[in-house]
Amino acid sequence: MSGGIGSRFWPESRTHFPKQFLDLLGTGKSLIQWTYERFKKIVPAENIYFITNEQYIETLKSQIPESPYENIISEPSRKNTAPCATYFAHKLMALNPNANIIMSPADHLIMDEEAFIKTTLDALEFVSTHSCLLTMGITPMRPDTGYGYIQYDTDGALGKAYKVKTFTEKPNLELAKTFLQSGDFLWNSGIFVWNVKTIMEAIAMYLPEMNEVFNQATTIYNKPGETEAVAKLYPHCTNISIDYGIMEKAQNVYVMPANFGWSDLGTWQSAYDNSAKDYLGNAVLGNNVVIIDAAGCMVKAPNDKLVVLQGLENFILIDTEDVLLVCERDHEQQIKEYVAEVKRNKGEKYL
């Protein structure tokens, strides 16, 4: 899934060139390039599909040139993850009705690739032998309020997976602390694994109207004219996530606990957490930054611009060609609000 805007990484992430195409950690590769290379070690390259907003198709193709255009699926409008999952399930059902699907965001960070590959192969094996909807759950390391949580039944494992009891979206700090102490909660990674027949049955049961929308194109999937046909159907889809639309309602949902150095890399704070730091805790991305008496700061600046930072503590400083963001790290969850304020006062020029 490669169609998001990543507005919490503004001003680096922009509508015309969003987060998944950026090298946010100074690794030399964008997040989507890392994701593609990771999945190439699990499935053949020809079985890797991207679904992205139509305005990003050429950008995606320029970053993953070996991917054929037929593997880059155009999403006519942003309707959240349920229409995206439903569209692809219908498309794959027409192509291979026995296929298993890994549904993954293109912009997550995985630090332990070997562990990720092993867990993913275990997950594929599980869904190929059980008619279950599987999500990967990450063992929480802190009471984080920025993630969704999955409570699971610690008894009666089905192989390496456990039955899901509840989903909770982004709890407050006290509740997150309670979840951490209980020992039966995991972070929701947003990575789902299922057999195409299993997810099609769930879509028909829990999203029947959306299922009927995509049934109208049954005869044209994977054929000329598919893109045009789906473009006409998409406006009829409800804007809803796969979590709310199916996962929280279905009775055959399981979670596989995992530890592979995961982060959804959703905010500048998460970029700070996953970046190298100097002895004063400053994470600096940029070759021309001078730090004087500053501590705990996240700094990103162009290599050709000299930035001198003095006296700040626990700030985010992101410098781009036309925007400078200076924000307390404690307020970084409010960046979306700042972007909305910019839009109200300055229009869409800086978005």
Provide the sign of the torsion angle of the four alpha carbons 264, 265, 267, 272, taken in this order: positive
Answer yes or no: are the C-beta atoms of 351 and 343 closer than 8 Å. Answer: yes
pLDDT per residue, tens digit, the chain (351 aa), is 998 888 889 999 999 999 999 999 888 999 999 999 999 999 999 999 999 998 999 999 999 999 999 999 999 888 899 999 999 999 999 999 999 999 999 999 999 999 999 999 999 999 999 999 999 999 988 888 888 899 999 887 898 999 999 888 888 888 989 888 888 999 999 999 999 999 999 999 999 999 999 999 999 999 999 999 999 999 999 999 999 999 999 999 999 999 999 998 888 998 999 999 999 999 999 999 999 999 999 999 999 999 999 999 999 999 999 999 999 999 888 898 999 999 999 999 999
Phi, psi for 64 (deg, rounded to 5): -120, 70
Q: At what angle do helices 31-40 and 113-129 cross, to 10 degrees?
A: 60
Answer yes or no: are the C-beta atoms of 50 and 64 closer than 8 Å. Answer: yes
Contacts of 245 (CB under 8 A, 6+ apart): 82, 206, 207, 210, 238
- Mind listing the domains of the chain with CATH numbers? 7-265 (3.90.550.10), 269-346 (no CATH)
Answer yes or no: are the C-beta atoms of 135 and 164 closer than 8 Å. Answer: yes
Q: Token pair for residue 189?
A: 């990674």
The runs of H, that is alpha helices, within 216-323 are 226-233, 242, 268-273
Extended strands (E) in the chain: 50-53, 72-75, 100-103, 109-110, 133-138, 149-152, 162-168, 185-195, 253-258, 262-263, 283-285, 289-292, 298-300, 307-310, 315-319, 324-328
How far is 261 from 189, CA to CA, in rounded Å? 11
Q: Token pair for residue 84?
A: 């995206």
When computed from its CA atoms, the radius of gyration of the chain, rounded to whole angstroms, is 21
